């Protein structure tokens, strides 16, 4: 990376950090006064003009200063290579939580309240509702050309089914073998346990049948997903009111989306963690109109000794967020919660 590009990233970082701290658009004069960038105001103005041309910062209304765009925040977040450690006070608060945890449901409630306090955002935890049902049998029945019915029978006697479209049309015997192999691999598996290890499942059939087995595996996974009813535990919604200046009239739709829960559950399920063990969606990346003025930071936690079902906890707040501190708190809390639940 050239010196110019490096300096431009430093200017972007300074704008993000100053805007998060002050809530005021940041101008070149303020950067010169508050930052040791060791370049002239004219150079900084040129860098800001280039950042604006690249869509990373923007001038709100007629202000002389600039604020980060969603793209600017995204580049800033992606450049955070080290998530800072928690402070001694934050670690102590989490230690107290671990020491006093005696009931999983109460632990969830305490965890989400503590995360809301640490981040000053809305804290959310995806709480899987486990079922004792297990997979008893899987069958695949041909229905018509390139159509088949995937049937899952649970230990409770409940029967679930889903129609699938196949790229090719294996004969009835081949579909029967696929069903038997799927049954062998998935027998006794908790109906709450998703996702399914598709690569493992397709490896037990001959190569010609692997594409069909993959379709069947995804169908079984969809059936299990539709039968698993998670809920969201939430705390700190009052923190949104403190961010009213950032969210403006969109705060109403945001609260409605949070109350619906299904929006958050879908979003949390879709979010995949990165090399830092975190997932961050900013603005329109949330893929929901009501949340386009927010950012969501989430991490996965283990729900029990066996590792859990990929449940997540995280925070929702305005895009003008202290990402470094928030990412640190979310990741640490996920690790603490995993430890508490695995030891319980």
Phi, psi at residue 38, to the nearest 5°? 55, 35
**Cβ atoms within 10 Å of 31's Cβ, excluding its own:** 23
**Looking at domain 135-227, does it have CATH number 3.40.50?**
no
pLDDT tens string 164-213: 998 877 788 999 999 999 999 999 887 766 677 888 888 999 998 999 99
Topology, domain 88-129+230-343:
Beta-Lactamase (3.30.450)
pTM score, two decimals? Answer: 0.72
Helix (H) or strand (E) holding 147: strand 147-154
135-227 shares the fold of 88-129+230-343? no
pLDDT tens string 234-288: 999 988 877 766 777 778 888 888 887 778 888 888 888 888 889 999 999 998 8
Instruction: List C-alpha distances in Å: 40 to 15, 32, 47, 211, 272.
Output: 16, 8, 11, 61, 41
Please give the Cα distance from 173 to 274 (Å, whole number).
Answer: 42
| 3-78 CATH, one of 1.10.10.10, 1.10.3720.10, 3.30.70.20, 2.30.30.110 | 1.10.10.10
**What is the per-residue pLDDT for 307?**
47
Sequence ranges of the domains in the chain:
3-78, 88-129+230-343, 135-227
pLDDT tens string 17-69: 999 998 889 988 888 888 777 778 888 899 999 999 999 999 987 667 899 99
Angle between helices 70-78 and 3-22 (to 10 degrees): 110
Please give the Cα distance from 333 to 313 (Å, whole number).
Answer: 8
């Amino acid at each position: 990376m050239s010196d110019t590009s490096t300096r431009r990233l430093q200017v972007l970082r300074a704008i993000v950090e100053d805007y998060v701290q002050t809530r005021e658009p940041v101008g070149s004069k303020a950067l010169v006064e508050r930052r040791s960038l060791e370049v002239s105001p004219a150079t900084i103005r040129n860098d800001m003009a280039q950042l604006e041309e690249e869509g990373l910062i923007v001038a709100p209304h007629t202000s002389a200063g600039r604020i980060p765009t969603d793209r600017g925040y995204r580049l800033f977040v992606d450049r955070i290579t080290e998530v800072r450690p928690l402070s001694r006070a934050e670690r102590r608060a989490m230690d107290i939580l671990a020491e006093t945890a005696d009931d999983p449901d109460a632990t969830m409630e305490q965890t989400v309240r503590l995360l809301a306090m640490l981040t000053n955002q809305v804290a959310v935890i995806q709480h899987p509702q486990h079922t004792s049902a297990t997979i008893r049998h899987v069958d695949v029945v041909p229905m018509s050309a390139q159509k088949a019915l995937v049937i899952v029978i649970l230990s409770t006697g409940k029967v679930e089914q889903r129609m699938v479209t196949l790229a090719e049309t294996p004969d009835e015997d081949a579909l029967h073998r696929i069903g038997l192999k799927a049954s062998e691999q998935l027998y006794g598996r908790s109906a709450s346990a998703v996702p399914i290890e598709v690569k493992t499942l397709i490896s037990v059939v001959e190569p010609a049948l692997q594409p069909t087995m993959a379709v069947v595996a995804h169908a079984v996974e969809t059936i299990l997903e539709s039968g698993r009813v998670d809920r969201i535990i939430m705390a700190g919604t009052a923190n949104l009111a403190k961010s009213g200046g950032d969210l403006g009239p969109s705060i109403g739709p945001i609260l409605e989306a949070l109350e619906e829960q299904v929006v958050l559950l879908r979003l949390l399920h879709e979010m995949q963690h990165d090399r830092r063990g975190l997932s961050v969606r900013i603005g329109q990346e949330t893929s929901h109109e009501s949340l386009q003025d927010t950012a969501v930071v989430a991490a996965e936690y283990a729900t029990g000794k066996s590792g859990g079902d990929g449940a997540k906890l995280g925070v929702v707040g305005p895009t003008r967020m202290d990402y470094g501190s928030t990412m640190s708190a979310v990741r640490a809390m996920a690790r603490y919660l995993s430890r508490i639940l695995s030891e319980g």
